[in-house]
Homo-oligomer: A and B are copies of this chain.
Amino acid sequence: MPVEQGVVKLTTIRQACSDCSLFQLCLPVALDTSDVELLDDIVQRRRPLRRGDYLYRTQDPFRAIYAVRAGALKTSVLSYSGEEQITGFHLPGEILGLDAINDNHHPCSAMALETTSVCEIPFEHLEHLALKIPGLQQSLLRIMSKEIFKEQELLHAVAKRSAEERLAIALLSFSQRFGRRGLSKTRFRLPMSRADLSNYLGLAPETMSRLFRRFQEQGLLLAEGKEVTLTEKAALLDLAHARGCIGAENQAGAARKA
């Protein structure tokens, strides 16, 4: 077994993909044991990021994609006037950096929302490996396809939906993403600030605030700071008009299919 090429050697950093409870999520395709070992060899674990640290910044050269192991990140771009535009939140088991493949530079910055650790997967190695392991190529293409689909979905979720619908959709999306990794689908801690969330959804923070209140008054949820409990998921789904939408179980399901 090769020496860990740890970017930084910390006591507890070594862990094989095969032992990782998130492995099914970040590369959701069956690889046999020897293939996983090949992958293991190229994956680097990094020292955890602290809240506010950047994993990469806009225009950084693209070297690797990243799988979130613990914590959470946001990706964002600076808009014309220098305002932050949040383009995504990334939870454990999710991959980020794929949008940089195209032109070899990161089109956005990724910042840790809390103490966060990631696996770094050098892309050159991965690409090379994907030529050898058909399942891996397939997996990669799937992940990217899902990403495209997800964005499209979100795009039209956010484009012409009311503030109410947007928040419902976002909450259900988090519910689902937490559920996917075995956590509660009804009670979770949002890793980002209200401001970040509202920014992401294209709403004013004030509007979000009012919405949270209204949802609470209507008994749809309980919010204590970042801790959220969804008490009436059905009603939320209804609000989100979720048929064929993010809140529905199609995403998690799709990822595992075939």
Considering residues A101, A138, A143, A154, which has the most beta carbons from chain B within 10 angstroms of its beta carbon? A101
Check B154 against A102 for contact (C-beta < 8 Å): no
- Complex-state Cα separation, A258 to B123, whole angstroms: 15
| Interchain CB contact (< 8 A) of A80 among B145, B245, B253 | B245
Closest-by-CB residue of B relative to A159 is B202
Given contacts A99-B149, A147-B148, contact A243 B80 (CB under 8 A): yes
Determine how close the nearest CB of chain B comes to the CB of A68; give it in whole angstroms: 17
* Nearest Cβ on chain B to A206's Cβ, whole angstroms: 14
Classify the secondary structure of A's interface with B. helix
CB closest chain-B residue, reference A203: B160
Most B-side CB within 10 Å, residue of A159, A241, A257: A159
Segment at the B interface, from A7-15, A109-117, A127-135, A177-185: A127-135
Determine if A88 is an interface residue (Cβ-Cβ < 8 Å): yes
Residues of A at the B interface (CB closer than 8 Å) are 77-81, 85, 87-88, 98-104, 107-108, 127, 130-131, 134, 137-138, 140-149, 151-156, 158-160, 201-202, 241-245, 250, 253-255, 257-258
Contact, CB under 8 Å: A102 / B158: no
